[in-house]
Amino acid sequence: MSDAYRDAFFTLHCDLPREGPGEPADVTWAAHLAGTPKTARLCDAACGPGADIAALRASAPDGHVTALDKYPHFIEQACALHGQDPAVTLSTGDMAQITGPFDLIWCAGALYFLGITEGLKTWRIALAPGGAVAFSEPCWFTDDRPQAAADLWNDEYPAMTDAAGIDAQVRAAGYRTLGTRKLSATAWENYYGPLDKRVAKLSPGDSPEMQQVLAEARREAEVWRAHQDSFGYLLSVVQPDDV
């Protein structure tokens, strides 16, 4: 990724409320399924601008949220929202190096950067006894895959698989799946709605890199809206086998 492309990408994404699909109901569901106590120690791994922190706090009102992201701008944005909350710790950091112990590690749409199996193995030592991991992952929902969707994901994430493939990677890490949930259309529009407005504001783009970034964002949203029955994000709650 060139510096010019990176600058264009962050110009597009600067100060958006979310960096991926999601809604508070996803967090509530995952925390309930994991049996997360009110006093839980929670980690928001790759938290982005902190869109899920409020829901995590609500799931463990007497607990503590440790949120981290490798991009300082996202942490600055999250600090503006949650920096005064003594039950929230925000920092720039690598999600591969979290230490815990945590009762729940929440990772919205970012575990694939580590790899499901590799990431879950890495996080095992960061889990408290009885702890769980909740993560969302791009997923094929049908065997009939429209060409536009197949082309998009072959470009963005060629390792994308279906629910059975995700579960196989979970089991390869020594975990079991407690349950799964498809992210809703509302969760996706929570991301694409603000992004659409930013794309319109920045169009047509003042550099080749910006034009490329805008085109990619438009394509991604258009393909999901046209073919959302065939793919989306699958939210999985998983726990080590020895728990």
Does residue 137 register a pLDDT over 80?
yes
pLDDT of amino acid 95 = 96
The verdict on domain 3-240 having CATH code 3.30.1550.10 is no
pLDDT of amino acid 2 = 84
pLDDT of amino acid 243 = 67
pLDDT of amino acid 60 = 97
pLDDT of amino acid 1 = 67
Distance separating alpha carbons of residues 232 and 230, to the nearest angstrom: 7
pLDDT category at 227 given cuts 50, 70, 90 is very high
pLDDT of amino acid 14 = 86
Distance separating alpha carbons of residues 30 and 22, to the nearest angstrom: 12
Which pair of structure tokens corresponds to residue 97?
A: 């190096």
User: What is the residue extent of each domain of the chain?
Assistant: 3-240
DSSP E strands, 108-230: 127-140, 161-162, 175-182
Cis omega before residue 101 (within 30°)?
Answer: yes
Q: Which residues contact 163 (CB under 8 A, 6 or more apart)?
A: 139, 141, 180, 234
CA-derived radius of gyration, the chain: 18
- Rounded to the nearest 10 degrees, the angle between the axes of helix 208-227 and helix 3-13 is 50
pLDDT category at 3 given cuts 50, 70, 90 is confident
Lowest-confidence region among 24-38, 39-53, 180-194, 204-218: 204-218
Query: What are 93-111's pLDDT values in tens digits?
Result: 999 999 989 999 999 999 9
Return the number of other C-beta atoms located less than 10 Å from residue 96's C-beta. Answer: 13
Query: What are 45-60's pLDDT values in tens digits?
Result: 999 999 999 999 999 9
DSSP E strands, the chain: 41-45, 64-69, 88-92, 102-107, 127-140, 161-162, 175-182, 231-240
Which pair of structure tokens corresponds to residue 164?
A: 């059975």
Distance separating alpha carbons of residues 226 and 180, to the nearest angstrom: 24
Contact 243, 133 (CB under 8 A): no
Percent of the chain surpassing pLDDT 90: 92
